[in-house]
Structure 1
Amino acid sequence: MDDLGLQGKIALVTGAAQGIGAAVVRALAEHGVTVNALDRQVDKLHSLVADLNDRDRQAVAFPADVRDSSAIDAVVSEIERDLGPIGILVNVAGVLRTGPIA
């Protein structure tokens, strides 16, 4: 049952392989969302997506690093070409840059 009206939506979740990102991926998938999971941790990402697909949930793995804008552009283009427009975007991935602020 989908009380939230999410059934059939297309989502992209960054930082999806573990922690909060993986929890978001699982929750969206349970509500009938087709989840495109993006992370640079390939093994964890594929394990998560395989688990969801084994339970008849719709999930696709996209191994990529959010710091690589051309890779992200390619992922978004592929999703929109194959599935349609992304209706839900959840940015969980973080980027740490060290150094002086100014």
Structure 2
Amino acid sequence: MSVLLLTGCATSPADSQADRLKAGLVRVETQCGVKPGTLKLNSDNLVAVMPASDAKYETIECVFRELKKPEFADHIKLGFVGNEAYAAEEQK
């Protein structure tokens, strides 16, 4: 009796989910007009939003509006990182 195992060609469900999320993030960047790389998917499948310092409010508002949609709902935790850089600018 012979057994044939096939490996290497199939992707895991986690990989395909991450690929779908990445494609969705690229779509949101394009639709909202933010610079490529503004949205990043980290290793925990959480979305990081890192807008350019000169990004317009309306474009970031569009990003957050899109990220509220169900396809991203389980991958968003809102927090602010890096605000200390702006505090230093205000003191000048």
TM range (shorter): 0.3 to 0.5
Q: TM-score, normalised by structure 2?
A: 0.35
TM-score (norm 1): 0.33
Structure (1 or 2) with the larger CA radius of gyration: 2
Q: Which structure carries more strand by proportion? A: 1
Task: Name which structure has the greater RCO, CA cutoff 8 Å, separation 6+.
Answer: 1
